[in-house]
Amino acid sequence: MGKYLAKIGLEMHCEVSETKTKVFSPARNSYSDIPNSNVSPIDMAFPGTLPMVNKEAVKMALMASMILKCSQPEYFYFERKNYYYPDLPKGYQTTQETKPIPSGIYGEVEFECNDEIKKVRVNNLHLEEDAASLDHYYATSNIDYNRAGVPLLELVTEPDLHSAEEAVAFLEHMRSVYQYAGISEADSKKGQIRCDVNISLMDASLDEFDPNNWGTRVEIKNINSFGGVRDAINYEIKRQTEILDKGEEVIQETRRWDEESGTTIFMRSKVDAIDYKYFVEPNIPKFKVTKEFLESIRASITELAMERKKKYIEKYGLSNYDAKILVKEKDVSDYFEECINLGMDAKTAANWVTVQIVAYLNKYEISIKDFYLKPEYLNQIISELDKKTISSKQAKEIFFKSLEEEKMPKTYITKDNAQISDINTLTEIIDKVLSSNEMQINEYKSGKTNLFDYFVGQVMKETRGKANPSMVKDILKEKLDN
Ligand code: ADP
Ligand code: MG
C-alpha cells in the first residue's frame, strides 16, 4: 500500500425516468420530445400555480431507500433551495435537505469490484426536481423546459470508496439497481446520470473510519459519464499526491472536469460557497408515510441483478463469468429469462446470448430491445440444432442471415439445407466415396491413419457440407477399422 489512501464520496443524481408525469406537475416525464412540448404552468412557476406531489415518484424514492438498506422517514416533506439560474424558472429547486431518506441512520450498499464484495455507506438519498436544460449554440442559447420538474434521485455516499475503479463499479451497480427496480433507464448517454465526486487523500497508516484522519477534500462537479468519473478521480489523485509530496496543503475547493484537456479546473473556493437559504416548501403539506404504504412498496420490489446472478450460477449451473455478462444489462437478462421460459436449455441459451448476441449488439451499438431475433426466433434455431437437422455451422449462418435479411430463421431451415443425419443415406454416400478411393484405403490400412480426415473431407465434399460430421466419423471408423 502506498503512503496515501484516497477517500472518495459520490453524489449521484439519477433521473427517475419511469414515472408517467413530472414530480410536481402533470406534464409528461419525457424530455427528449420536441423541446418545450412537455411543460405545465407549474413547471414554469406561473403565479397562482401549486405543485402536486407525484405518488409514483415518492414510491420509487422509498423503494430505492429500501434496496439501499436505509431507514424510511415517518414524514415526507420538501424544502426550497433558493438560487437563480435561467434553467430554474421558479428561482428555487424543490428538494429535501434537512430530512432526507434515510433520516439519520446510514444505509449500506454492497457491490462487486473485481469479484470482491465492497461496501459503501449511504449518507443520504432524496427526491428532488431536475432543472431545465440549456443548449448552447454559437450566438444563442436555448432553454428546454421539458426537463424542468423531471424527478431526480440524489444519492450521497460516505467517502468509503478508494479508487476510480471502485467508484465506477459502484456507479454501475447503482445503475443496475435503478434499472432492475424499474425506477430509471439510468442511461448516462441520455444524460440521466450525473455525478459530483468528492476526493481527499489521507495517511494510509491511520484508521480510515475516523473523520479526524481525513484529508481536505476537493469536489468535482457535474461529471456526466462513468469514463469521466474514472479519469477525473485518477487525475485528482495524482494532482493531490503531488501537492502533498511537496509538503504543501490541498485547498478545499470546487473544481470541474474538463473532458477536452483531461484535467480538473478550479471553479470556486469554499469562501464563495452559496448560501441557499433553505426553508420548508409551504405549498406541499408534510405527509405521513404509513406502514401500509411502506409494506406495499416493499412487496413490489423485483428480483435484482445480484439475485438473478446467484440463480444463474446455482440453479442453471452457469459460470460466474457468463452470469455476470447476462445480468449486466437488465434488458439482456430479461431476454435470457424469456429464453428459459420458452424451454431452452439454460447453458445453450446462455452461450448464444453471451457469445453471439452480445458481440452483435456491441458491434452495431444497438440495444437488445432493437435486436431482430427475439427469443422465440432464437428458439427456432436452437431446436433445429437439438434435432440435429442443422449443424452448428449452419445454425450460425442462419443466425446471421436472419439478422441481415430480417426474416424468421424458419425461412432458412428448408429441406435443401437440412443436415443429412439419416444413417442409410449416409452409409450409401460413404460407400460410394470409399469405392472410388481404394488406393487411399490401402495406405490407411497399412498405417497412414492421418488419412482419416481425408475421407471425412471427401464425404463432406460429396454432400456439399450437409452430412452430419459426427455420424460420418462414426460410420467411417466402423468401415475402415474393421
Ligand atoms: P456538503 O454539505 O459540502 O455537500 P457533505 O457533508 O454533504 O458536504 O458531503 C458531500 C460529499 O463529500 C459526501 O459524498 C461525503 O462523503 C464526501 N466527503 C466528505 N468529507 C470528505 C473527505 N474528507 N474526503 C472525501 N470525501 C468527503
Ligand atoms: Mg451535499
DSSP 137-167: -SS-EEEEGGGTT-EEEEEEE-S-B-SHHHH
Other beta carbons within 10 angstroms of residue 320's beta carbon come to: 10
Q: Is the C-beta atom of 214 inside 6 A of ligand 1?
A: yes
Pairwise CA distance, residues 66 & 294, whole Å: 9
Indicate whether 406 and 429 sit together in one domain: no
DSSP 322-364: HHHHHHHSHHHHHHHHHHHHTT--HHHHHHIIIIIIHHHHHHH
Q: Is the C-beta atom of 51 inside 6 A of ligand 1?
A: no
Indicate whether 454 and 398 sit together in one domain: no
Indicate whether 89 and 29 sit together in one domain: yes
Ligand 1 centre to CA of 8 (Å) is 8
pLDDT at 281: 95
Ligand 1 centre to CA of 241 (Å) is 19
**Does 418 map to a domain?**
no
Q: Which residue has the CA at smallest separation from atom 17 of ligand 1? A: 9
The pTM score is: 0.82
Other beta carbons within 10 angstroms of residue 280's beta carbon come to: 13
Indicate whether 329 and 441 sit together in one domain: no
- Which ligand 1 atom lies nearest to the CA of residue 156? 14
Pairwise CA distance, residues 422 & 389, whole Å: 10
pLDDT at 250: 95
Q: Which residue has the CA at smallest separation from atom 16 of ligand 1? A: 158
pLDDT at 100: 61
Mean pLDDT by 10 residues, the chain (482 residues): 91 96 96 91 94 96 93 92 93 85 70 93 94 93 95 96 98 96 93 96 96 96 94 97 96 92 89 87 94 97 95 96 94 96 94 95 92 94 85 88 90 72 86 90 89 90 83 90 77
Into how many domains does the chain fold? 3
Q: Which residue has the CA at smallest separation from atom 22 of ligand 1? A: 217
Residue that finishes a domain, picked among 259, 277, 296: 296
Q: Is the C-beta atom of 179 inside 6 A of ligand 1?
A: no
pLDDT at 111: 94
Indicate whether 203 and 292 sit together in one domain: yes
Q: Is the C-beta atom of 409 inside 6 A of ligand 1?
A: no
Backbone phi, psi, residue 456, to 5°: -60, -45
Q: Mapping DSSP to helix (H, G, I), strand (E, B) and coil, where does residue 432 land?
A: helix
Indicate whether 327 and 192 sit together in one domain: no
- Which ligand 1 atom lies nearest to the CA of residue 10? 14
Indicate whether 335 and 402 sit together in one domain: yes
Indicate whether 247 and 329 sit together in one domain: no
- Which ligand 1 atom lies nearest to the CA of residue 211? 23
Q: Is the C-beta atom of 159 inside 6 A of ligand 1?
A: yes
**Does 83 map to a domain?**
yes
Residue that finishes a domain, picked among 296, 330, 358: 296
Residue that finishes a domain, picked among 389, 412, 435: 412
Cell digits of residue 59: 414510491
Other beta carbons within 10 angstroms of residue 474's beta carbon come to: 13
The distance from CA 451 to its chain's CA centroid, rounded to whole angstroms, is: 52
For residue 464, give the CATH number of its domain. Answer: 1.10.10.410
Instruction: State the residue range of the domain holding 466.
Output: 423-480
Q: Which of 14, 58, 21 is nearest to 284 (CA)?
A: 58
Other beta carbons within 10 angstroms of residue 116's beta carbon come to: 9
Indicate whether 306 and 290 sit together in one domain: no
Pairwise CA distance, residues 248 & 255, whole Å: 18
Choose one of 125, 217, 240 to mutate for the ligand 1 pocket test, by most ligand atoms within 8 angstroms of C-beta.
217
pLDDT at 1: 56
Find all residues with CB under 8 Å of 200, minimum gap 6, and list them.
6, 7, 159, 214, 215, 216, 217, 218, 240, 250
Indicate whether 81 and 150 sit together in one domain: yes
Q: Mapping DSSP to helix (H, G, I), strand (E, B) and coil, where does residue 308 land?
A: helix
Indicate whether 195 and 337 sit together in one domain: no
Backbone phi, psi, residue 222, to 5°: 55, 55
Ligand nearest to the CA of 237: 1
Ligand 1 centre to CA of 219 (Å) is 8
The answer to whether 33 touches 229, Cβ cutoff 8 Å, is: no
pLDDT at 460: 87
Ligand 1 centre to CA of 196 (Å) is 10
**Does 417 map to a domain?**
no
Indicate whether 152 and 57 sit together in one domain: yes
Strands 141-144 and 133-136, how do they pair? antiparallel
Q: Which of 388, 314, 380, 392 is nearest to 356 (CA)?
A: 392
